[in-house]
Amino acid sequence: MSRVFLIWAVTHSVKEVQSEDSVLLFVIAWTITEIIRYSFYTFSLLNHLPYIIKWARYTLFIVLYPMGVSGELLTIYAALPFVRQAGLYSISLPNKYNFSFDYYAFLILVMISYIPLFPQLYFHMLHQRRKVLSGTEEHKKFD
């Protein structure tokens, strides 16, 4: 969902950020990640998973995940002034629904949500890496 959000609700909606280096950063990280992920799935389905693909799936995230998250956060941050100025996707009171929404504040909350979520997901992947690449019998019985 974060990819759809970043592509549509930030990068597509705020044209001014489309030329930011941060967009290139997350697009490169996502692209490499997906090439590795789908190669892993394909070879697994064929019951012929080369170790290099398995290793790449459980190792390259160490660099790619922080790279992608950095690109995402920098892109959202770059979009903030434009969102505020244009009032993009914001709904002000008064209106017939008696409801307001501030997209600028929402983007800030999204950025803050990375603080608890990123370490949790990153350390989960590190744990998976140890489990999958260790090859010990203790870890194999949990697969």
Report yes or no on 140 lying in a domain.
no
- Extract the residue ranges of the chain whose pLDDT is less than 50: 137-143
Q: 64 near 32, Cβ under 8 Å?
A: yes
pLDDT at 117: 96
Report yes or no on 143 lying in a domain.
no
Report yes or no on 141 lying in a domain.
no
**pLDDT > 90 in the chain, percent:** 92
Q: 65 near 125, Cβ under 8 Å?
A: yes
Catalytic residue among 65, 77, 114, 122: 65
Report yes or no on 142 lying in a domain.
no
pTM: 0.90
Report yes or no on 40 lying in a domain.
yes
Catalytic residue among 20, 72, 103, 104: 72
Catalytic site includes residue 138: no
Helices and strands of the chain, counted as H and E runs: 6, 0
pLDDT at 79: 98
User: Based on the structure, what is the number of domains in the chain?
Assistant: 1
- Look up the domain containing 56 and give its range: 2-135
Report yes or no on 127 lying in a domain.
yes
